[in-house]
Amino acid sequence: MKPHIRACRTLSVVAAAVAALSLGGCDMWKSESSAQAPAKIEMAKSNPVEMAPKPVAPPAVDENKALAGKVKSALGADPALKMLAIDAGASDGVVTLYGTANTKKNRDKAGKVASGVPGVKSVKNELVIVAGS
């Protein structure tokens, strides 16, 4: 035989061996992953709590901000007060009103509306009377 024919036959045999080994490896990989899948499914069936997502705790509610928001809503609901620049802050049930009022009557009315909101213990009325506000 000529040397190049022997090299071609050897190369063919080596190529066939590599192909057979690589195909055998694919079959083995498939069988391993398919064997693991039922195990994971069985684990999920037997212990669904472990597989379930953990609940996320709701963010903490700031009581002071919530109370101040309720007071602002009450002031905004009053037709005479909704056009005024009034802000509210709260600390442990004590509400402080900031901003301006156009008359003493509206300043006092804002204090009464704020004190009528559930959860308000007292009101500090810091509104300044400014004509045209």
Q: Assess whether 89 and 111 both reside in one domain.
A: yes
Q: Assess whether 31 and 77 both reside in one domain.
A: no
Per-residue pLDDT of the chain (133 residues; tens, 9 = 90+): 555 555 556 656 656 666 666 665 555 555 555 555 555 556 555 555 556 667 777 777 789 999 999 999 999 999 999 899 999 999 999 999 999 999 999 999 999 999 999 999 999 999 999 876 5
Helix segments in the chain, DSSP class H? 3-46, 48-51, 63-77, 104-115
Q: How far apart are CA 81 and CA 72, in angstroms?
A: 10
Residue 115 sits in which domain range? 63-129
User: For position 124, which CATH number holds?
Assistant: 3.30.1340.30
Chain centroid to Cα 117, Å, comes to 30
Backbone angles phi, psi at 74, to 5 degrees: -65, -40
Bridge pairing between strands 86-91 and 94-101: antiparallel
Q: Assess whether 36 and 79 both reside in one domain.
A: no
State the virtual CA torsion across 41, 46, 51, 52 in degrees, nearest 10: 120
pTM of the model: 0.55
